[in-house]
Structure 1
Amino acid sequence: MALEFLNRELTPEANQAPALTPASSDVFGRIGTLETRLARNAREIDAAQAVRYRVFVEEMHAKLSPDAMRIRRDVDSYDAICDHLLVVDNAIEGDIEDQIVGTYRLLRQEVALANGGFYSASEFDIAPLLARHPEKQFMELGRSCVLPDYRTKRTVELLWQGNWAYALKHGMNAMFGCASFPGISPEEHALALSFLYHTVSAKDDWAVSALPELYRQMDLMPVEAINARKALSAMPPLIKGYLRLGAMIGDGAVVDEAFNTTDVLIVLPIAAISGRYINHFGADARRFAS
């Protein structure tokens, strides 16, 4: 499970774009007292891991390794090779550990391939996808979470501003990552999974499938039985946010018992992102990605 559901939708509206003004060269965006930037040192990464523990373990009942449970941190080997996007509330008094309220984990293709591959490859067969696009650079989004009190539209927008600026800064052409439904029974999400299967499946050059030994059927309802409005209402908000950006969904779900989730693979070519979102976040992000 790499991408956790927040509890607000990403719904930028015309003439209501946030005032995103960087305070320094490594800040990707700011709204009020909140800013988004990359972690600057090991201390900040440790604080992000503590936020992840609070959301994934204390709130969602994930079962981590004994060492991770002992130190109360969601930590794995990928943390050492990823960049860690943060949302920081500068209005909170105290140390940086107290100010980090949200996080995303970002992994560029060149870094992944030099260090054993992508996290998502443990659930989905992404090698053919990468092979079909040798001219493109992919980035993986993972471990997304926000503390309960900060699950608001502006926090989600800051995370996406950070992702967008980071992708353009590093010349990325596509994003992908696991997105999660709560619980380990795909049948409980039959309506939403079937809607994704019938309407936004990744096809042709963008097709990707769950690993055969982990594959769980998404086509749980006939297309004529699907009410689109109800299906969207039943969907985790972060997945709906991806769909609004133009994302596609891989074939097959994967049950992640350790994280107590049912995962699908999001595939989002940069070129597919809707024009109104590009206008919202900035077509080149130079003011954030310099």
Structure 2
Amino acid sequence: MHRSGPSVRVHNICPKAAKLHVRVAESEADVLAAQRLRYQVFTEEFGANLHGAQDGIDQDRFDPHCDHLLVEDLISGQILATTRLLSQDQMPKAGSFYSEGEFDLSNIHRLPGKKLEIGRTCVHADFRNGATLALLWSGIAKYVIDHDFEHLIGCGSISLTDGTQEAWSITDQLKRRFLLEESKQVTPKLALPRSDSETTEPVAIPPLIKAYMRLGAKIGGDPCWDPDFRCADLFILLPISALEARYAKHFLKDQEKSDTTAA
């Protein structure tokens, strides 16, 4: 079980001076650094109301039962991206999957095979680029293979800064191509209201959700409204068998030498 350790603060860093590496948190200080980054991104930058957050730290009851994946700058020692990983075996100790607070996962629990939930993913503002996201995914891919998981689950978030129109436009786009079959669909516990007016402008799919879809993921149905994070969440299921060979090869290639220099 992880507990709070020494304070680790995230500083503004020049991307050109960074050398990035992905790894699993090894200490309480590592976890605390991830929690501070989460607070910086979710609360300070996006204004989320995080229950249990205090003193610049985002923490909840799930954290002690998760592994925390980190993208670290080897030059400064700072944590620049993180996601937490809750396995099916650890889930009973946490009481549930995090996404069960938003969706009825009865159909998902009936699926055979080991499940891994990804959550609380965030990236430092100066490093929100394809290289950082790809490196984070390389760590997820290696973790999945090493632990023989068969399904990745999680929530993909869509900002509601401009109202619900864009969220519904993105949802409708995804449902046309990436909707799970009915036997695997989920029901939101707090449905996102439909707007009286529909946007006719093309709406870009958020990069993290787009990355999921490129890897073979599908969405579980309509979005859940998350007032605390001021976003709409889509439930996402990625069968590991759906990973296309070119992506798996890319993510796992020379994993032992996965250091990369940010451009």
TM-score range for the pair, normalised by the shorter chain length: 0.7 to 0.9
Give the partner amino acid of 1:194: D
2:154 equivalent to 1:177: yes
Q: Indicate the residue corresponding to 2:11 in structure 1.
A: none
Residues 190 and 221 in structure 1, CA contact (< 8 A), matched pair in contact too: no
TM-score using structure 2 length: 0.83
Aligned pair 1:81/2:54, yes or no?
no
Q: Where does structure 1 differ by over 4 angstroms across 4 or more consecutive aligned residues?
A: 217-222, 285-288
Instruction: List alignment gaps of at least 5 residues for structure 1.
Output: 1-31
Aligned to 2:83: 104
- Counting only pairs closer than 5 Å after superposition, residues 127-142 of structure 1 correspond to structure 2 as 127-131=106-110, 133-134=111-112, 136-142=113-119
Question: Once the 2 structures are TM-superposed, how far is the Cα of residue 286 of structure 1 from its aligned partner?
Answer: 7.8
Secondary structure of the residue aligned to 1:110 is coil
Structure-2 residue corresponding to 1:9? none
Shift of 1:55: 0.4
Cα deviation 1:232-268 (Å, max 9, x = unaligned) = xx21111111111111001111111111111101110
Cα contact 2:165–2:197 (8 A) shared by 1 = no
Quote the residue 2:19 is aligned against: 33
Q: Following the alignment from structure 1 to structure 2, what is the Cα–Cα distance between the partners of residues 241 and 219?
A: 27
Once the two structures are TM-superposed, the CA of residue 186 in structure 1 deviates from its matched residue by 2.9
Choose which of 275, 279, 283 in structure 1 pairs with 2:249: 279
32, 44, 47: which one aligns with 1:58:
44
Equivalent residue letter for 2:31:
I
Total equivalences in the alignment: 239
Q: Distance in 1 between matches of 2:143 and 2:108?
A: 22
C-alpha spacing 1:266/1:141, structure 2 compared with 1 (3 Å): same
RMSD (Å), alpha carbons: 2.5
Q: What amino acid sits opposite 1:76 in the alignment?
A: D
Matched, 1:237 2:232: no
Task: Give the number of the structure with larger relative contact order, counting CA–CA contacts within 8 Å between residues 6 or more apart.
Answer: 1
Check conservation: 2:153, 2:235, Cα contact below 8 A.
yes
Q: Deviations along 1:2-47, whole A, 9 cap, x unmatched? A: xxxxxxxxxxxxxxxxxxxxxxxxxxxxxx8211111111111011
Of 63, 69, 74 in structure 2, the residue corresponding to residue 90 of structure 1 is 74
Q: Which amino acid aligns with 1:247?
A: A
**Could you tell me which residue of structure 2 aligns to residue 17 of structure 1?**
none
CA–CA distance in structure 1, aligned partners of residues 81 and 231 of structure 2? 20
Tell me the percent identity.
36
Is the CA contact (8 Å cut-off) linking 1:191 and 1:220 kept in structure 2? no
SS where residue 94 of structure 2 aligns? coil
SS of the aligned residue for 2:225 comes to strand
Equivalent pair of 2:85/2:117 in contact (CA under 8 Å)? yes
Question: How far is the alpha carbon of 1:273 from its aligned partner?
Answer: 1.2
Deviation at 1:81, TM superposition (A): 0.3
For the 8 Å contact 1:215–1:253, the answer to whether it is kept is: yes
